[in-house]
Amino acid sequence: MKTVSVSELKAHLSRYLREVRRGSEVQIHDRGVPIARLGPLPRAAEGPGEAERQRLIGAGIIRPGSGHADNVLETEPLELPTSLLDALDEDREDRF
């Protein structure tokens, strides 16, 4: 486990968050005294399991699918008036 000061954590927060995403833990010290530990969430919290899914359905938060999506793959793609690349270029032209 890495140990960092509050000022170091503030200065390089993104780097330490990347390490936490990879499974590391970071202990945070304030003037040499440990005050907190930053670590990854338990794996169960990363995505709902079947029980959680049923709870969300029951609460009306999510709605289960109503059928098969097989026909989506059989339909022809939409004809768009412009290419995706041209649309992205137009959207981003103010950034250059």
Domain boundaries of the chain, sorted by first residue = 1-62
Q: What pLDDT sits at residue 38?
A: 95
Q: What pLDDT sits at residue 84?
A: 86
Distances (CA, A) of 6 to 33, 38, 41: 10, 12, 21
User: At CA 13, angle to CA 12 and CA 16, rounded to 5?
Assistant: 90
Give the domain 1-62 fold: YefM-like fold (3.40.1620)
**pLDDT by 10s per residue, the chain, length 96:** 899 999 999 999 999 999 998 889 999 999 999 999 999 887 655 555 788 888 888 888 888 888 777 777 788 888 888 888 888 888 888 876
Q: What pLDDT sits at residue 87?
A: 87
Q: What pLDDT sits at residue 96?
A: 62
